[in-house]
Amino acid sequence: MKLEHTVSIDAPHARVWAVLMDLPAAARCVPGTVDIAAAGDVVTGTLEVRVGPVKLSLAGTVTIESRDDVAGTARLRADAADHRIGGAVRAFVDVAVTGDAPTQLRVSSDIAILGRIGELGQPLIARQADKVLAGFADCLRAKVAAP
Amino acid sequence: MRPFDYVEPDTLDEALALLAGDPDGTLVMAGGTSLVILMKQDLVRPVCVLGLRRLTDLRAIDTKDGLRLGALATHGAIARADAVRSHAPALAATFAAVATVRIREQATVGGNLVHADPAQDPPVTLLALDATAVVRSSARERRIPLDELFVDLFETSLEPDELLVRIELPALPAGARAIYKKFLPNTLDDYATVSVAAVIATDAGGACTHARIALGGAGPVPFRARDAEQALLGRRIDDAAIKVAAALAAAATDPIPDLRGSAAYKRAMAGVWTERALREVA
Amino acid sequence: MSVPALFGAPERRLDGDDKTNGTTTYTADVRFPGALESAFVRSPYPHARIRSVDTARARALPGVRAVITGADVGGARLGRRLQDWPVLCWDRVLFVGDRVAAVAADTRAIAEEAVRLIDVDYEELPALLDMDAALRPDAPALHPDSATYRFLEGRGPRPHGPHPNHQGYVTEAHGGDVDAAFATAVRVFEHEFTTPRVHQVALEPHAAVVWIEDDRVHVVSTNKAPFTLRDQMAAGLGIEPDRIVVDNGPIGGDFGGKGLSTDEYVLYFLAKLTGKPVRAITRMADELTAMNPRHASRIRLRTGVDATGRIVAHESHALFDGGAYAAGKPTPRLMVEGGVQTLEGYRVPASRHLAAVVYTNQVPGGHMRAPGQPQNVFASESHLDIIARELGIDPLDLRRRNAARTGDPVTSDAPWHGPNLPALLDRAAKEIGADRPREPGRGIGFALGVRHVGTGSATISLRLDRDGTIEVTTGVGEQGGGQHTLIQRIVAATLGIDPKVVRVRRLSTDSPKDPGIGGSRVTPVHGGAALAAAQALQAKLEGASVAAAAASLGAGESIAVSAKFDATAADHGACAHAVEVVVDRETGTVRVLRAVAVVDVGQVINPVLLRGQLEGGWVYGLGMALTEDLALEDGRVRAANLGDYKLLTIADVPPLKIVHLSDHHGVGPYGARSSGELLNPGVPAAVANAVADASGARVHALPITAERVWTALLDAG
C-alpha cells in the first residue's frame, strides 16, 4: 500500500533536513514508539499501535537505505514484527525536503503488511498507517519549529 | 485460540470490582459475537475474559423518561420489544436489520456500541434518537452523549475500568417520524455500504422543528450530519430542501475505501440514501 | 431401454440421515489417541529467496514433536499433473501463503505457537503480479528448473508455450480458413472481458490425517479422487503406489477444490519423523489465501457475421492467471479446458483459439465447478448480446439463428451432438415473458450454457447375499453430490428391486482403480458401470428373480459380479438461461427478480439430488455474477474471511424456475446426462445481459457490483 503525506514547515531547509536525519529523534516522532535506541546506523524500537480492536506491538529496526544531502532526499527502511499475533510490517519511506522557509516535507511510504496481521483487513490497516504517518509529519514540524 | 481465564460475576458491583483489579488485562464479553471471532483468529489474545451473561438486570428494556435499553439486551429482544416499537418503529427495524437471526439473538446493544464498528447499524439510529450511554466504574457513574462515545475506528471514550450499563433515549418531539435506511448492494447479511437514520418533526405549517440525520459506514465513526440538519430547521421539507440536505450530508462523509466501495462511491451513496430517507419522513 | 418407474419417485439419499443427525464422520472427525496436530509457516511475500530458517525456539517449546523445513523434504514437489509445487519451499517462495516450514505438536495451539517462533530470513525479490508483467519478453522465468519437474503420465506430451512463464498454451483451429472466412464477414466485432479469482468455499475445509503402519503410508483426506492422490503422492514422494493406501470418508463439499491436496505430503514427513498419526485442518483464511481458486481471466473475442447476423468466423484469445504453480490442474494440457472453445454451442464454420495459463506470483489456480467455462461463457454470451444490439437484432433471435443443430460445425473438431438448443431458448423466452411489456428499470437477459458429458472408466462390483440384499462396492466416494444414491438407484431399477436392499460401500485404494469425482463424470461413468454390473448380475441369474436367486443360495454362499465400464460417447447437456433484473439507476444496484433455467439433462435418475445440483449450481453462478471476488492487492488476498468474501445467502436468491425439456438422446445410463457443472457457467452472462437490457450499462468485468454499474451509467451519461 502506498501513502503520501506532505507538510509545510516554517523553518529553514537545513534544519528540517538535520532533524530528519537524526534517526533516533525522527523515530521518536512516530506516535506510539517506545524503547527507541540507536546502535550504529540502525535504530531499534517498538511501535505500539491499535488496529481496530487489536493492539499490535511491532518491534524492529529503522535504517537509512540511501540519502542525498544535496538533493534533500533519503530512503528509510523499517522492518518490524509482532510475534504475539504473528506478522510483520515492512515499509520503505522516501522523504524529500524541498524549498526553504517554508520548507516542504514529503513523506512517501510503501508499506507491506506481512502474515497474520493482514487478516485485519487492508482498509483498517491503511487507515491506521495513514494516521501514524500523519502524526509523524506533524511531530516533525513541531520539533523543527521548537527553538 | 489460546487458553485464557474466564470469570463470570453474579452482580454488576462484582464485575466492576474485577474490572478495576486489572482493567488493561481484562476483556469484557457481552454477546461475544465479535470478540470470539477475533479470539479464534488469534488476533486478540486476552489473559482474562469477563463474561457478563449472568448480569440479567442489564437485559431490561423499559420506558422510564423515554426509553431505556439495558446494555445486555440482545438485538433480537430489542427488535421485538413493544416499548421499542412504540418509541420508534425505526429503532426496532434497525436492530432487526443486523446480520442474521443467529447473531441477533446473541449480540447485545452494549457490545455493539462498545465494539465501535463504523459499519454497524444500531449506532446510527441511536445517534439520530439522541441516545446517551450510561457507563459505570467501581468509583463512579457518568453519562456520555452517543456522539461523544465514538472516538475512532473501533475506539470509544470509555475508560478501561468502565462498563456500559444502559442506553437512554429521551422522548421524541410530538409527531416526530424516524427512519433507518441500510444500503445493501451485496448480500442481505452484509454490513451496510452506507446507512442513514433520519428523525424529523414539523409544525402545523409544515416547517421543520426537529431534524436529526446520522450516517454509518461513511467515516471512521458513525456521526451526525449537523450541517444537513441545520439546513432543514425552520424550512418546509420540500424537494429543494431535501437535495440541499443530502448534498451537505454527503459532503460531511470521510469514507474508508474497502471491498464495499470506493470513497467516492460511498460519498455519493450517502447523498442518495439521505435523500431517500428524508423523502420518507418529510 | 424403457424408463424404470423408480426414477420418477423422489429418492431418499443414502448419506442423508447421517448428515442430518450429525453422525457422519468427516476427515476432521477422524481422531486417534496420541495423534499430533500440525501447523505451517507460510510466506508473507509474493516472491522471495529464503536465506535461512531458524527453528530453534520452536523446537524448544514444550509439546512440539517435530519441526521440518524445506531442507527436510528432499526436493519433493507435489501436483496433480505437473509436480511443480515444493512440499515445503527450500530456496524460493512464489506466492503469499507458500509453505516454508511445518510443526507437529501435541495440540493445535502449541503447533500454532511454535509457528510464530520460527524465524525465516527472506530476501524479497521482484514479484510478477499480473499476466502482462509475467509475459514480457524480459520477464524472469518463475520456474527456471522447470525441465526437471515430474509430469505425470497421461494423454499427450507435456505442454510448452513460447514463454517460460506459460503453464499451459493451447492453439486450436476448427472448420475452414479463418482469415478467408473473416474476409467474407459483413461486420466484425471485438470485445474484451475480465473475471476475477473466485473460490469454491466448501463448508468443509481441506483436512487430512497421515500415519505409517506396517510399512505402509495411510492417508485419510478430503481428496475426491483417492486413487489419483495415491499416484500423485507416490510420484512426488518417491514411494511405490502400493505402499500408500488412501481411505477417504465422506466429503463436506467439493466444487472442484477437493481435487488438490497439499497437506498430505507434508504430513507424510511429519508422520515418518514422529512415528505418530499427524493431522491437518486448513483454516478458512488459508483456504481463501492459498487453496486453488478459480483462475482469473482476460478473454478477447473477435467474431465476424454476415448480413443476417449469422456467425461466419470467430477467434478467441484467453489468458488465465495460473498463479505460482500449475499443480492444481490435472489436465494434460495444464489448461482450464472449459476456457478454450469459446462460443460453445453455436454454429461456427471457422474458428481459431489461443488460450494460455500464465505463471504469476499469485495464489495458484485450481479446478472449480466447470473449470474455465464460466469465464468463457461470460465473455461469449456478453459478446453475442453486444453484437445483437449493435446489429439491431433481438438478442434471443441472434442466439436462435446461430444455435448449433445436430451435425453443425462448432468450435471443436467433432460436429455438434447435444440437446435441441433452439427449443430450450424458445421455452426460456416464453417462461420469462420476453414479449410482455416491462416496467422502467427492468430488463431481461439470456445466456446459453452447454457442458460436455464426462467420459472415463470405472469398475463396480455387486454381491447378492442369501438374505436378498445386494452389496455394491465402488472406489468412488460421496462428496455431497449423491454419487452413492445414484449407483443404488440404477442397480435397484435395473434389477427391479427395492432400493432399500441395495447397500453401497466405498473401498479404499486397495481395490480396482477408480477415477474419482470430477469432470461431470459420475453419472455417465459410474452410472454406466452400475448399469453394466446390474446387467451382468441379471445375466448370471438367467431369468430368475433376485429374490428367488437369493433364496436358492446355501449358507455362506453369494453371487458376485464385477463390471468395468468405459464411457466414451461425446455428448452435451444444455441450459437456456433467462433472468429478469431491476437496476436502481441512482445506486447501480442490481436485483434479480426471477430466473428461468430450461435444461436438458436427459433422463432424470435422482430427482431430489438433481434439483439440488441445478438450483445449487444456479446460485453458485449468481454469486460469481454479483458478489464474489477473491481480490488481491500486492499479491495478498484482500478478502481472507467470509465476512469480506461475499457468498450469497438464501435470502439473496430470487425465485428460480427450472424446466426440464429433453430430446431423450443422452448417452449416459437410461439416457442420462451430467448436471453438476451445467448451470453455474451461464448465470453471470445472463445477469450482465439483463443489466444492459434494463439500464444500458454494459459491464465487461465480474462481479457486476453496484459500483461498477453506477460507474458505467455515469460514463454513459
The pLDDT tens digits for C639-661 are: 888 989 999 999 999 999 999 99
Shortest distance, CA A55 to any CA of chain B (angstroms): 8
Q: Give the integer Cα–Cα distance in Å for B9 and B15.
A: 5
Q: What is the pLDDT of residue C371?
A: 98
Mean pLDDT of chain A: 88
Nearest Cα residue in chain B from A128? B153
Q: What is the mean pLDDT of residues A9-19?
A: 90
> pLDDT (tens digit, 9 = 90+) per residue, B134-176?
999 999 999 999 999 999 989 999 999 999 999 999 999 999 9
- Spatial neighbors of C54 by CB under 8 A, at least 6 apart, are C118, C119, C120, C121
Shortest distance, CA B170 to any CA of chain A (angstroms): 30
Q: What is the pLDDT of residue B148?
A: 97
Output the nine-digit C-alpha cell for C650: 438464501
Contacts of C113 in chain B (CB under 8 A): 2
Contact A118 C42 (CB under 8 A): no
CA A85 to chain centre: 22
Spell out which chain B residues touch chain A, with contact meaning CB-CB distance below 8 angstroms: 34-35, 38, 41-45, 115, 153-155, 220, 256-259
Contact C627 B186 (CB under 8 A): yes
pLDDT(A52) > 80: no
Calculate the alpha carbon distances from C442 to B188, B276, C428, C438, C579 in Å.
Answer: 21, 20, 17, 6, 10
Q: What is the pLDDT of residue B55?
A: 97
Beta partners for C218? C211, C245
Q: What is the pLDDT of residue C155?
A: 67
Contact B265 C707 (CB under 8 A): yes
Q: Answer yes or no: is the ipTM higher than 0.90.
A: yes
User: Is A52 part of the contact surface with chain C (CB cutoff 8 Å)?
Assistant: no
Indicate which of C589, C624, C636, C638 best probes the interface with B, i.e. most B CBs within 10 Å of its own CB.
C589
Indicate which of A79, A109, A114 best probes the interface with C, i.e. most C CBs within 10 Å of its own CB.
A114
Interface of C with B in 294-333 (CB under 8 A): none
User: Is C498 part of the contact surface with chain B (CB cutoff 8 Å)?
Assistant: no
Do residues A118 and C640 touch, judged by C-beta distance below 8 A? yes
User: Of A7-11, B278-282, C191-195, where does mean pLDDT reach its minimum?
Assistant: A7-11
Q: What is the pLDDT of residue A147?
A: 58
Nearest to A127 among B38, B41, B220 (CB): B220
Residue A118: count of CB within 10 angstroms of its CB: 24
Do residues C247 and C226 touch, judged by C-beta distance below 8 A? yes
3-state secondary structure of B218: coil
Strand boundaries in C310-375, DSSP class E: 311-323, 350-359
Which residue stretches of chain C have pLDDT < 70?
Answer: 1, 155
Q: What is the pLDDT of residue A142?
A: 85
User: Is C706 part of the contact surface with chain B (CB cutoff 8 Å)?
Assistant: yes
Contact C649 B186 (CB under 8 A): no
Contact C640 A119 (CB under 8 A): yes
Specify the residue for cell string 528540517: A16
Contact C633 A122 (CB under 8 A): yes
Q: What is the pLDDT of residue B217?
A: 96
pLDDT(A145) > 80: no
**Strands of the sheet with B61-62, listed across from one edge:** B61-62, B67-70, B163-169, B132-136, B141-145
Asked, as a colleague might, if the bond just before C330 is cis with ω within 30 of 0, I would say no
Q: What is the pLDDT of residue B160?
A: 93
Summarize chain C as % helix, strand, coil (round to 5): 30, 25, 40
